[in-house]
Structure 1
Amino acid sequence: MKFADLGLSDELLKSIADAGYDEPTPIQAQAIPPVLMMKDIIGIAQTGTGKTASFVLPMIDILAHGRSRARMPRSLILEPTRELAAQVAENFEKYGKHHNLSMALLIGGVSMGDQIKDLEKGVDVLIATPGRLMDLFERGRILMSGCELLVIDEADRMLDMGFIPDIEEICSKLPATRQTMLFSATMPPPIKKLSDQFLNNPKYIEVSRPATANTSIEQSIINIAPKAKRKLLYDILDNEGVDTAIIFCNRKTEVRDLCESMRKDGFDAGQIHGDMDQSSRLAELERFKSGDINILCASDVAARGLDIKGVSHVVNYDIPWHPDDYIHRIGRTGRAGATGIAITFVTNRDAEHVDSIEKLTGMKLPVRDAKSIKSGKKPAAKHDGKPKDAGKNKFEKPAKKPVETDHDRKPEKSEQPYEAKSETAKPVKARSEKASRKPAPALATPVEDEDSEGWNGPVPGFLDAKLNR
């Protein structure tokens, strides 16, 4: 099936072709026709399946007819985090370039005055996080009576973040005759209750079993002592054919400390976590996307919504506390048909978390021996496209063979197991040539942010709410 078979306009098909796409993903093929027919839908799809375009594309064609009015948006898209809202806005900018549609992005961390000015001009598409939307509504700066389309995206994430009461209140203020689309990776009872309450005879679309990990991702766990994690991580980056990687930690302090240590040891690493201000987060993510850095240390604030092409590896430096977060973390690789590798470090205290993940995914996670990484027995990782330097390890430079003396030589029987040895061994500094040529950039200064954990990415440069206008 081609996009041309779905009933989209010629202008929209041109934008899709300009973006390099020809065939829709399963969720797009099943969702776009009923949306164009103005039907309510429930879409169950895991991350990386092209879900965003499945509602952005038909909405552009629907909204092409009609005009906006001041403070009365014609459509509303609710996202749980700033980063997800920003990425949806980027999709509208990319696909709506041949349409004269206006857009506003209502998220925390951005001047409310500028957002109010955008609303006063009238917008066709309003993309918002629940908190900022409710704030402006309570101030009387926005009217919802003219909203024709509503999208509730990442509904299960909304549930996790406690936004369901806000969603219910927002829905109650919208016209009863609106068209509603709800998307979620899973369908827990509270989300089912929400859909029963606010959707009218919806078409149910499911493109994969809920809570399953992407089958194009090669997953494994490695049992390791806590103090040996850092050396094991360095060995993976040096010996596993890593091109680009996202390293997940459970705590913001761990993200910060790990990134700082990696920079000192010569890695081109960046970080994203809740204690960074918005401009610093944006700068780090843009450096990762552009290839200026190829390692991103992140807390779960970045697990959902990050859509970066070519991420070859995800490493769970800490196993996630919630099994759902495992699905979304590893989903940063193996996207849009590409393959990827996800490695999770497991300590002797993590057995319960492993059981929860295996129960949720319905699969037994393969166990790897840490020594297999150290010895280089694992072949280079397969991922989307070839590394920039094919046949070379991006993180490793040739090391000179040391001259061994009788004083330095040790009998083989004195060698210790990997875990015990790594607790005291200094990490090997076999890093990229790029890192050896320039000093590590200064770390962003952590600041307090009242909405810190609700944002996980960039705010695009089009906050003047315009698309070709």
Structure 2
Amino acid sequence: MATSFEDLGLGPEVLRAVSDAGYTTPTPIQEKAIPFIMMNRDVLGCAQTGTGKTASFTLPMIDILAHGRARARMPRSIILAPTRELAAQVADNFETYGKYHKLSMALLIGGISFNEQEKALDRGADVLIATPGRLMDHIDRGKVLLSDTKIVVIDEADRMLDMGFIPDVEKIIGMVSSMRQTVMFSATMPKEIRNLAEKFLSNPKELTVDPPSSTAQTITQGIAHVGPRQKRSVLEKWLKEDNIQNGVIFCNRKRDVSNLHKSLEKKGFSVGALHGDMDQHKRMEWLEKFKSGEVKFLVCSDVAARGLDIAAVSHVFNYDVPLNAEDYVHRIGRTGRAGREGTAYMLVTHHDEKLLTAIEKIVGSSLPVLEGMEPRSKEDKSSNASHENKQASNKNYQERGNRKRGRKYRDQDFEIGIEPEFDMPFGQTPNVPAFLLRSFK
């Protein structure tokens, strides 16, 4: 392993900025990727979240772009990121490491006015950082030309795939010269990502550090088996523990993010919220408050699972078990970063058993059960099952009533069910057009 960043061939201005940021030793992915990117090689990198992937491409790009100047609306390089938060984080990295260069940058993300972004494009951008959708909007408006782009970076490619951005990515890359340098980074390397790499990259150098979907050894993990109605009370108990510096709380749905945020706020917790339907300014406001310590907890949807780059997050709480097993790795990767220790807890109901099994298969081991949080007794399970059976019975009774209220008409090859739009006493015939009655005699 390289003993310092000086061993990687970076220029003095970049090394000075890295030193100012307090870094002396490169991470494994930085050590492997930076020399090849400096050589203008295509790179396919796979490393788990929190291993320094962003700096592994921003540092050499700053050195490469130091010579030359961008023309209006013709960026010299583009970096594509799946979320606004991740794109903004990459922009922060460029400002930090490029402080001794005079490189221009444009950040194109949703929630920010087009006019402000167009002004940055008109001034010329050495590096254009964007989410695929917003970049396509500018391209469609004739505000961006990619004919002068020499470097393309696709960050978090697997997340791009999950979020359905690959068609836009393909269109964007199709507008860039085939003589470009392309760098693709991904936290996991499924077959679909390899297929994309074959389309986008030319004879790439493939780099892998740590097994795909592994979790950092510095993270203490634990799960609690609870009933659905116990989740909030157990979470609140966790949040009151003395050793918590701050924490990120993950929910699966945006609606649950809002509801949990309001509930915790009423209970007196210092808490903010972050999900995809929020106004961008509000999202950034909560993020800054969390970074500065003004709020202690941040309730998030998975939009933040890969966009938060805060080194000192002490805890991650999975209020909901993630629907995608891979997302568990990315969620808990918000803690235990840069060699620090972290803690990740997860609430598991009996509905989540299959999801838990999938996660443990990805992680490669069973997740430890917290003391006093073992699976419920048979009596508890049977009681809960009785409650659920009663609910199912009520639902079936309602469905039978609905069928009695409606009328079905059969023909040789199909069946049409006509349901009234309002409640109707049993036995009363709904209003059915006469022509329908005639057609089915």
Fold match, TM over 0.5? yes
Match of 2:278 among 270, 276, 279: 276
Instruction: Tell me the SS of whatever aligns to 1:181.
Output: strand
> 1:253 Cα deviation (Å)?
2.0
Match of 1:93 among 85, 92, 95: 95
Instruction: Tell me the SS of whatever aligns to 2:221.
Output: strand
Whether 2:42 is the aligned partner of 1:40: answer yes
Q: Is the 8 A contact 1:134 1:166 kept in 2?
A: yes
Match of 1:319 among 305, 318, 321: 321
Match of 1:338 among 325, 333, 340: 340
> 1:240 Cα deviation (Å)?
5.8
> 1:371 Cα deviation (Å)?
5.7
Structure 2 equivalent of residue 112 of structure 1 = 114
Instruction: Tell me the SS of whatever aligns to 1:350.
Output: helix
Instruction: Tell me the SS of whatever aligns to 1:222.
Output: strand
- Give, in whole Å, the separation in 2 of the partners of 1:370 and 1:14: 51
Structure 2 equivalent of residue 362 of structure 1 = 364
Instruction: Tell me the SS of whatever aligns to 2:269.
Output: coil
Structure 2 equivalent of residue 189 of structure 1 = 191
Instruction: Tell me the SS of whatever aligns to 1:336.
Output: helix
Structure 2 equivalent of residue 434 of structure 1 = none
> 1:239 Cα deviation (Å)?
3.3
> 1:83 Cα deviation (Å)?
0.7
Aligned residue type for 2:16:
K
Structure 2 equivalent of residue 126 of structure 1 = 128
Write out aligned runs for 1:189-338 (5 A): 189-239=191-241, 241-338=243-340
Instruction: Tell me the SS of whatever aligns to 2:240.
Output: helix
Structure 1 equivalent of residue 63 of structure 2 = 61
- Give, in whole Å, the separation in 1 of the partners of 2:137 and 2:282: 25
In the TM superposition, structure 1's runs of 4+ consecutive aligned residues that sit over 6 Å from their partners are none
Structure 2 equivalent of residue 6 of structure 1 = 8
- Give, in whole Å, the separation in 2 of the partners of 1:198 and 1:15: 32
Q: Is the 8 A contact 1:224 1:370 kept in 2?
A: no
> 1:159 Cα deviation (Å)?
0.3
> 1:245 Cα deviation (Å)?
1.0
Aligned residue type for 1:126:
L
> 1:287 Cα deviation (Å)?
1.1
- Give, in whole Å, the separation in 2 of the partners of 1:173 and 1:347: 48
- Give, in whole Å, the separation in 2 of the partners of 1:167 and 1:283: 29
- Give, in whole Å, the separation in 2 of the partners of 1:192 and 1:24: 26
Higher relative contact order (CA 8 A, sep 6+): 1
Structure 2 equivalent of residue 29 of structure 1 = 31
Aligned residue type for 1:220:
G
Write out aligned runs for 1:141-160 (5 A): 141-160=143-162
> 1:309 Cα deviation (Å)?
2.5
Identify unmatched segments of 5+ residues in structure 2: 384-441
Q: Is the 8 A contact 2:317 2:346 kept in 1?
A: yes
- The structure whose residues are more often helix, as a share, is 2
Instruction: Tell me the SS of whatever aligns to 2:189.
Output: coil
Q: Deviations over 1:89-133 (max 9, x none)?
A: 000000101001000011111111221222122110000111111
> 1:29 Cα deviation (Å)?
0.6
> 1:370 Cα deviation (Å)?
3.6
Q: Deviations over 1:385-440 (max 9, x none)?
A: xxxxxxxxxxxxxxxxxxxxxxxxxxxxxxx99xx9xxxxxxxxxxxxxxxxxxxx
- Give, in whole Å, the separation in 2 of the partners of 1:223 and 1:64: 54
Q: Is the 8 A contact 2:50 2:333 kept in 1?
A: yes
TM-score, normalization by structure 1: 0.78
Identity %: 57
Instruction: Tell me the SS of whatever aligns to 2:350.
Output: coil
Q: Is the 8 A contact 2:74 2:148 kept in 1?
A: yes
Larger radius of gyration: 2
Alpha-carbon RMSD across the aligned residues, in angstroms, is 1.6
- Give, in whole Å, the separation in 2 of the partners of 1:140 and 1:265: 50
- Give, in whole Å, the separation in 1 of the partners of 2:203 and 2:278: 43
> 1:220 Cα deviation (Å)?
1.3
Aligned residue type for 2:209:
V
Structure 2 equivalent of residue 176 of structure 1 = 178
- Give, in whole Å, the separation in 1 of the partners of 2:272 and 2:198: 43
Q: Is the 8 A contact 1:223 1:369 kept in 2?
A: no
Identify unmatched segments of 5+ residues in structure 1: 373-415, 421-469
Q: Is the 8 A contact 2:224 2:373 kept in 1?
A: no
Closer/same/farther in 2, CA of residues 227 and 28 from structure 1, 3 Å limit: same
- Give, in whole Å, the separation in 1 of the partners of 2:128 and 2:30: 21
- Give, in whole Å, the separation in 1 of the partners of 2:69 and 2:272: 43
> 1:53 Cα deviation (Å)?
0.2
Structure 1 equivalent of residue 410 of structure 2 = none
Q: Is the 8 A contact 1:316 1:345 kept in 2?
A: yes
Structure 2 equivalent of residue 448 of structure 1 = none
Instruction: Tell me the SS of whatever aligns to 1:183.
Output: strand
Aligned residue type for 2:357:
D
Q: Is the 8 A contact 2:219 2:341 kept in 1?
A: yes
- Give, in whole Å, the separation in 2 of the partners of 1:168 and 1:275: 26
Aligned residue type for 1:69:
R
Which is worse superposed, 84-93 or 356-365? 356-365
Aligned residue type for 1:214:
A
> 1:197 Cα deviation (Å)?
1.4
Q: Is the 8 A contact 1:213 1:331 kept in 2?
A: yes
Q: Is the 8 A contact 2:225 2:373 kept in 1?
A: no
- Give, in whole Å, the separation in 2 of the partners of 1:343 and 1:50: 24
